[in-house]
Amino acid sequence: MSAQFYIVPTPIGNLSDITLRAIEVLKSCDYIACEDTRVTRVLTDKYGIGAKLFDCHKFNEKERSEKIISLLEKGKTIALVSDAGTPLISDPGSVLLKELLNKNIKITSLPGACAVTTFLSVLPRESEEFAFIGFIPRSKKEQMEILNKYKHTNCIFYEAPTRLISTLQNILENFDADTKIAVGRELTKLYEEVKIDSVQNIIKYYEKNTLKGEIVVMVYAKETVETPEIELKQKIALLKEENFSPKDIAKIISKLYGTNKNKIYKLTLE
């Protein structure tokens, strides 16, 4: 018997945001492994899905992997879903998938709802490049490390409403006050809201307005302004007068202007 295992995205708020194929697949399943059976039951009841539900969350994933493999070996069809959106996107599933791949079991993944892509598709951007970091760490130090690492890339993260203001304040303290931010709140739901503004204006807005619900944030990529070559050459000349070596000059100027080190090095040799 051929084992069938599916990864199935579920809605991130609006219960109608599920594909026809996802419903068909869930209806064909013997079992659905879900984070919380009470949450998934709402969906299965709505769509008349008769599969048996059992929990599979981050605290029992390893042990559930054994159960899932044994059921698949008996020819059962199983789907993995999370409470909302796409499994494995800041949700459990990695441990299980590793075990399935070790056993050479085919995994079929269905496309569907996800807060990251729903948010990205409503944000005008200069570039396609983005970094998704999942839930942003809580400590200011770790937040700044990761946001600095991706400062030239649009950087998306999940955050709790209770921590949003303090995270934005950390950004305001460490980056320019006009750093562009987008906040998506309650996407696909009744009180859906998308705000795009400077970090200082977003803080002011949320200090005055209710901040409840589910949140996704994007820090827009910091634009790199190319320093004109003539200006770079002037600075190089000044450092040469002070007897700095070409290597040190390249290091200093590239740090100060964010310009490529090799380019500066070549200019120092001209």
**Interatomic CA distance for residues 89 and 57, integer angstroms:** 13
Residues 18-77 that bind ligand SAM (CB under 6 A): none
- Closest CB 181 distance from ligand SAM, rounded Å: 15
The interface with ligand SAM within residues 125-164 (CB under 6 A) comprises: 158
CB within 8 Å of 20: residues ≥ 6 apart: none
Nearer to ligand SAM (CB atom), residue 60 or residue 90: 90
Residue 221 as a binder of ligand SAM (CB under 6 A): the answer is: no
- Encoded one letter per residue, x for contact with ligand SAM by CB under 6 A and - for no contact, window 111-130 reads ---xxx--------------
Q: How far apart are CA 79 and CA 65, in angstroms?
A: 12
Stretch that binds ligand SAM, among 38-46, 61-69, 110-118, 121-129 (CB under 6 A): 110-118
Nearest distance from residue 118's CB to ligand SAM, in Å? 7
CA distances from 204 to 186, 211, 212, 240, 265 (A): 19, 12, 16, 47, 45
What is the rounded distance in angstroms from the CA atom of residue 32 to the CA atom of residue 107? 14
* Binder of ligand SAM out of 19, 60, 90, 174 (CB under 6 A): 90
Size of the site for ligand SAM (CB under 6 A): 21
Is the distance from CB of 8 to CB of 80 less than 8 angstroms? yes
Binding segment (CB under 6 A) for ligand SAM, from list 69-77, 167-175, 181-189, 236-244: 181-189
- As a whole number of angstroms, the distance between CA 89 and CA 77 comes to 22
* Cα gap 137→158, rounded to integer Å: 10
Q: For residues 89 and 172, which CB has a smaller minimum distance to ligand SAM in the complex?
A: 89
Q: Which one of 56, 215, 219, 253 is in contact with ligand SAM (CB under 6 A)?
A: 215
The Cα–Cα gap between 218 and 130 comes to: 9
Q: Which amino acid is at 56?
A: C
Could you say which of 23, 41, 54, 89 contacts ligand SAM (CB under 6 A)? 89
Which residues, listed in sequence order, are joined to residue 146 by a DSSP beta bridge?
A: none
CA dist 10 → 39, 111, 114, 234 (Å): 11, 10, 8, 58
Q: Is residue 211 at the binding interface for ligand SAM, with CB under 6 A as the rule?
A: no
Nearer to ligand SAM, 69 or 218 (CB): 218
* Contacting residues toward ligand SAM, per CB under 6 A: 12-13, 82, 84-86, 89-91, 114-116, 158, 184, 186-189, 214-216
